């Protein structure tokens, strides 16, 4: 113990873990100025993000401290983390304090840890908090207030609200699974069919005969958009304004007037995009996940952000930063939003029926049982 108090402060490291959605695991990071790179501890990678954890002191009067995490928002990275996740309110935040000598050997090019030989048994400190609120957010940094479980504000019990008209699942996340539903071939799309070759149109006709007259998006991904797995075709923005001019006209939604879509993969700053091209941005780039953690439902279920180009000759305009020429595929979280995406989901219970593939809208309307 005597040697511990003689150590320089750079030998002691704080490692942080921030819980994401149930399907995504944890964002692991550290902010040590003496290790300005990603580091490995117990085979888990911790991304270097400048940050500061303050107000950890405790008092003798029994008051609970509410620490503040101030973290650099480099390239809006943390904003991506918070977006569409309710600012991670109520999610776990963990601090692990360790000695540098306990870092994995893989951190050092020569295979020798200059801080000594690891004798790891336990953490110097292990603190677990919940995200209480977002105090501030700008292009430079984000501040989050932490709290203990007994002191967190605005948490509802039980944590899942029961509503009759609002979906509680995260779009494209676990529960919704749009673009990742095994027995769903995707919504039917006919816009752009007349622009295809005679061979493709003939193939489309055969496909529709075998699928109750529906030309599911899986056909487009397979035959037209590169022969890839259906990742969920973009349908509409957060206000149910659809991208394609003739998409489900009976629903009478506003539309962006596009006549076709074209999947262009991951967005690239050097590619020229035109109307109807759709791309994706990683929801959070390179987030390490803990496959051993019980809260993780599926390591493959990592949603992406999809954007549709609504103008021609667009180059070097990042979709999330240029919403005048790019529109994000989002769900309104209403029954109509679900209908736009899952109307063509057909289940077979002796006869073909249409239904949602998940229980997103538990009813709360009163019901009078008349017998």
Question: Are 210 and 339 found together in one domain?
Answer: yes
87 in Cβ contact with 3 (< 8 Å) = no
% of the chain at pLDDT higher than 90? 44
User: Taking the C-alpha atoms of 107, 76, 234 and 286 in order, what is their torsion angle to the nearest 10 degrees?
Assistant: 0
pLDDT of residue 291 exceeding 50: no
pLDDT of residue 2 exceeding 50: no
Question: Are 127 and 215 found together in one domain?
Answer: no
Q: Read off the pLDDT of each residue in 228-243 and give the average, rounded to a whole number.
A: 92
167 in Cβ contact with 328 (< 8 Å) = no
Rounded Cα gap, residues 171 and 305, in angstroms: 10
Determine the 3-state secondary structure of 201 from DSSP.
Answer: helix
Instruction: Give the tokens for residue 207.
Output: 């496909």
Question: Are 91 and 203 found together in one domain?
Answer: no
Question: Are 342 and 242 found together in one domain?
Answer: yes
Question: Are 118 and 248 found together in one domain?
Answer: no
Q: At 212, phi and psi to the nearest 5?
A: 55, 35
Q: What pLDDT is stored for residue 163 in this prediction?
A: 63
Question: Are 131 and 252 found together in one domain?
Answer: no
11 inside domain: yes
174 inside domain: no
- Strand-pairing partners, residue 40, are 45
158 inside domain: no
Please enumerate in sequence order all residues whose Cβ is within 8 A of that of 76, keeping only pairs 6 or more positions apart, or say none: 139, 320
Question: Are 127 and 250 found together in one domain?
Answer: no
Pairing of strands 26-30, 12-19: antiparallel
> Which range of residues forms the domain containing residue 130?
2-147
Q: How many domains does the chain have?
A: 2
Looking at the whole model, is its pTM more than 0.85? no
331 inside domain: yes
Question: Are 289 and 234 found together in one domain?
Answer: yes
Lowest mean pLDDT among 162-176, 219-233, 253-267, 269-283: 162-176
pLDDT of residue 304 exceeding 70: yes
DSSP string, 205-250: HHHHHHTTT--BHHHIIIIISSS--------B-TT--EEETTSSGG
157 inside domain: no
pLDDT of residue 296 exceeding 60: no
Question: Are 19 and 137 found together in one domain?
Answer: yes
CATH number, position 101: 2.30.110
Determine the 3-state secondary structure of 265 from DSSP.
Answer: strand
DSSP string, 91-150: -EEEEEEEEGGGS-GGGSTTS--TT-----SS-SEEEEEEEEEEEEE-SSEEEEEEE-TT
Mean pLDDT of the chain: 82
365 inside domain: no
Instruction: Give the tokens for residue 90.
Output: 């109520």
Mark residue 136 as left, alpha or beta (left: phi above 0; alpha: psi -120 to 50; beta: remaining).
beta
Q: What pLDDT is stored for residue 64 in this prediction?
A: 65
pLDDT of residue 193 exceeding 70: yes
Question: Are 125 and 226 found together in one domain?
Answer: no
pLDDT of residue 302 exceeding 80: no
Q: What pLDDT is stored for residue 76 in this prediction?
A: 85
pLDDT of residue 292 exceeding 50: no
Question: Are 230 and 345 found together in one domain?
Answer: yes
Q: What pLDDT is stored for residue 160 in this prediction?
A: 57
Bond prior to 158 in cis (omega within 30° of 0): yes
Lowest mean pLDDT among 27-36, 150-159, 243-252: 150-159
226 inside domain: yes
- CA 29, 131, 304, 77 dihedral sign is negative
Question: Are 138 and 270 found together in one domain?
Answer: no
368 inside domain: no
């Amino acid at each position: 113990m005597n040697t511990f108090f003689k150590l320089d402060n750079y030998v002691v490291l704080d490692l942080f873990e921030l819980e994401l959605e149930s399907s995504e695991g944890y964002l692991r990071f550290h902010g040590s100025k003496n290790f300005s790179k990603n580091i490995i501890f117990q085979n888990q990678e911790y991304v270097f993000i400048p940050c500061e954890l303050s107000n950890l002191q405790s008092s003798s009067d029994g008051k609970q401290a509410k620490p503040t995490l101030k973290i650099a928002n480099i390239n809006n990275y943390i904003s991506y983390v918070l977006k569409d996740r309710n600012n991670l309110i109520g999610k776990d935040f963990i601090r692990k304090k360790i000695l540098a000598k306990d870092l994995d050997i893989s951190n050092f090019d020569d295979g020798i840890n200059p801080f000594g030989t690891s004798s790891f048994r336990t953490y110097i400190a292990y603190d677990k908090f919940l995200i209480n609120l977002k105090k501030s957010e700008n292009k430079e940094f984000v501040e989050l207030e932490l709290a203990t479980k007994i002191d967190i504000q605005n948490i509802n019990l039980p944590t899942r609200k029961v509503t009759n008209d609002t979906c509680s699942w995260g779009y494209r996340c676990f529960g919704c699974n749009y673009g990742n539903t095994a027995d769903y071939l995707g919504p039917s799309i006919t816009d752009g069919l007349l622009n295809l070759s005679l061979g493709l149109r003939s193939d489309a006709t055969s496909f529709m005969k075998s699928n109750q007259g529906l030309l599911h998006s899986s056909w487009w991904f397979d035959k037209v958009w590169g022969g890839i797995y259906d990742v969920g075709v973009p349908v509409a923005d957060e206000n149910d304004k659809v991208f394609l001019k003739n998409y489900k006209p009976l629903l009478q939604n506003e539309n962006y007037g596009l006549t076709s879509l074209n999947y262009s993969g991951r967005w690239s700053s050097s590619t020229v995009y035109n109307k109807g091209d759709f791309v994706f941005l990683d929801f959070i780039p390179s987030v390490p996940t803990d496959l051993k953690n019980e809260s993780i439902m599926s390591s493959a279920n990592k949603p992406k952000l999809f954007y549709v180009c609504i103008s021609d000759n667009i180059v070097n305009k990042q979709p999330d930063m240029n919403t005048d020429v790019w529109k994000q595929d989002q769900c309104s979280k209403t029954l109509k939003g679900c209908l736009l995406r899952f109307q063509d989901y057909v289940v077979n219970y002796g006869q073909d029926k249409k239904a949602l593939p998940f229980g997103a809208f538990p009813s709360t309307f009163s019901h009078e049982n008349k017998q």
